[in-house]
Structure 1
Amino acid sequence: MLTTARTRRAYPLYDGLLGERESQAPPVGTTNRVVTEVHYNTCGFAWKSRAVYR
């Protein structure tokens, strides 16, 4: 019997200033994606982040 390993990968998405805007990753036990978001102010500092949502 052959078994295959499934590769799990997270995909970061960046804005124009190369700040990580969003991260998507596959959760354990489902086919959906887990998404987290970060918002930056005009100085480039993170001021708001959203917890994991699907």
Structure 2
Amino acid sequence: MKFENLMLHSLFAACLLVCVLTLGAMISAPSYAPASVASANHVTATQPAG
């Protein structure tokens, strides 16, 4: 019983660590718009509607 309990606690700690690292990487990663999106926004912003 002690071995199974130790394995479950280790698995929980490993999963928690992976989740925290993944969340931290997503939050701290810079987000850059691709060049095609940036140029499309520029075209729609500079042309008059209609």
TM-score (normalised: structure 1): 0.23
User: Which is greater in Rg?
Assistant: 2
TM-score (normalised: structure 2): 0.24
**Structure with bigger RCO (C-alpha 8 Å, 6+ apart):** 1
Choose between structure 1 and 2: higher strand proportion. 1
